Structure 1
Amino acid sequence: MTKKDKDQLGYSIALIVFLLLIMVRNFFSFIPIMYFIGGALAISFIVGESVKAMIPTKKTKRKSTKNKTKNKETTKKKTNKKATNNAPKKNHNQLRCKKEVMTLPFEKLSWREFERLCYYYYESKGQNPRETGEGADGGIDLIIYNNKDKADEAVQIKMYAKHRQVDVKIIRELNTAKKNHKCMLARLITTSDISLAAMREAGDNRIDTHDGFWVENTLLKWRDQEAKRLKYIK
């Protein structure tokens, strides 16, 4: 029995004893009323406390504040981890509709959508872009018609992080790939920078280059204007 239950039982027994003594008051009429009531209260209290003392108290385990705080923090970490795992992840192979490619924040586009954005750009310039379907394996992504030189041009598109430079190896691979597609010209588009060695290699092999500056100041500005023209945005 808990301490609270024992206290309630003791009070109840004391009250019962007091009422019983009041009921037998007539047998003790020779005792003045004030003394009788005082004695009845004292006897009731003693009986109640005696009963409480005879009943063992049930011990309850008390969790320490330290353990409680630790458990709370552990639960919070598990909840946050679960929320993180359930959060939607960027699908790098995703290819959404034209409206989304033209209006979504650029950092949310996948590499395939970046390639498709370049496709839309050259399509708007009347350069008849064709996708090769070679994907992200280092091959050619687009073939466009170069209106100035009246020839097909192989285009390779690299969606790199800004800190990652295009090196000379990429340019050499592009030079080989353009020949495989029977193109005299080639073009590299990247979201990052291009090393000096890669720039020299490109110049020696008739390969035009567009870096992150071109993407931000030409491609994305065109995208905003085109999205307004198509009424995708106001």
Structure 2
Amino acid sequence: MNSIIIFIVGIFCLAVIAGVLQPSKKKKTRRSKRTKNPAIKKSANTGFNRSSSTCRTDEVILTLPLDKMTGAEFERLLTLYFRDNGYTVKEVGVGGRDGGVDLVITDKRGEKTAVQAKCYADHNKVQVMTVRELVGAKRNHDCILSLIVTTSDLTGPARKEADQFKVDYWHGGLVDSKLRSWGKWTPSNRKVKTTTTKKERSLSKTVSNIKCSCGAAMVKRKNKAGAEFLGCSSYPTCRKTKAI
């Protein structure tokens, strides 16, 4: 009889010990999971670093041609330009998270302008959606005015939208002219060798009465297929063309 009682008591003690040990394992598992989450959040919150390879130093940027810059570098160049021209500049679009606005510039009167910068190749133009985003986003920064600065140009619908909502815009030729007049931007001059016949050279000097969008006169030229077209006389600063 005593042996049976001892056996029952032993089973009961084992059950109690097992119940005590099992929750402790669960707690360890939960703790291990919690320690992993902060590491994930920390890596996800890593901010954009201007000293990284996506944006070179100011000294380097001031020597780069526009077509050799990244979007972040073009924004930085504009920041330096506006500051030297008396504006207070806030870089709100660092790393591409602009929400429609890259820079907020404030003049001496306290008037704020929302700036959207687009560093595009010649064949890429600013679309109408960019204009609409800027118009909507400028209110988030308490800006009265808005400006699009692009190394290329705007599409026809984008120009129409910009004129309708009073959005100012600088196209590639104007941007190049303003930056060169500033004096601090000194891109390396690239010499392009071209072979043209005497007839083609005479055609290129034929000035038409048509003006380019940058204000310079258009001149007659010939493409590789021999077809004539009008090109801006300030080429390669301005690359605008028109069909004859």
Q: Give the TM-score band, short-chain normalised.
A: 0.5 to 0.7
Alignment partners' CA distance in 1, 2:54 and 2:112: 28
Q: Determine whether 1:114 maps to 2:98.
A: no
Q: Report SS of the residue matched to 1:130.
A: strand
What TM-score results when the alignment is normalised by the length of structure 2?
A: 0.50
For residue 156 of structure 2, what is the amino acid of its counterpart?
A: L
Tell me the equivalent position of 2:57: 97
Q: 1:157 to 1:177 in 2, by over 3 A?
A: same
Q: Determine whether 1:139 maps to 2:100.
A: yes
Task: Give the structure with higher Rg (CA).
Answer: 1
1:26-72: CA deviation from partner (whole Å, max 9, x where unpaired): xxxxxxxxxxxxxxxxxxxxxxxxxxxxxxxxxxxxxxxxxxxxxxx
Deviation of 1:93 (Å): 6.0
Q: CA RMSD in A?
A: 2.2
Tell me the equivalent position of 1:52: none
Q: 1:99 to 1:191 in 2, by over 3 A?
A: same
Q: Report SS of the residue matched to 2:74.
A: helix
Q: 1:101 to 1:196 in 2, by over 3 A?
A: same
Q: Per chain length, whose mean CA-contact separation is higher, i.e. which structure has more relative contact order (CA < 8 Å, sep 6+)? A: 1
Structure 2 stretches lacking a partner, 5+ long: 1-51, 187-244
Tell me the equivalent position of 1:162: 122
Alignment partners' CA distance in 2, 1:227 and 1:158: 18
Q: Determine whether 1:226 maps to 2:200.
A: no
8 Å Cα contact 2:100-2:130 kept in structure 1: no
What TM-score results when the alignment is normalised by the length of structure 1?
A: 0.52
Q: Pick the structure with more helix per residue.
A: 1
8 Å Cα contact 2:86-2:107 kept in structure 1: no
Alignment partners' CA distance in 2, 1:197 and 1:106: 25
User: Residues 1-234 of structure 1: matches in 2 within 5 Å?
Assistant: 94-137=54-97, 138-147=99-108, 150-219=110-179, 221-222=180-181, 225-226=183-184
Q: Pick the structure with more strand per residue.
A: 2
Deviation of 1:192 (Å): 1.0
8 Å Cα contact 1:93-1:111 kept in structure 2: no
Identity of aligned residues (%): 37
8 Å Cα contact 1:134-1:140 kept in structure 2: no
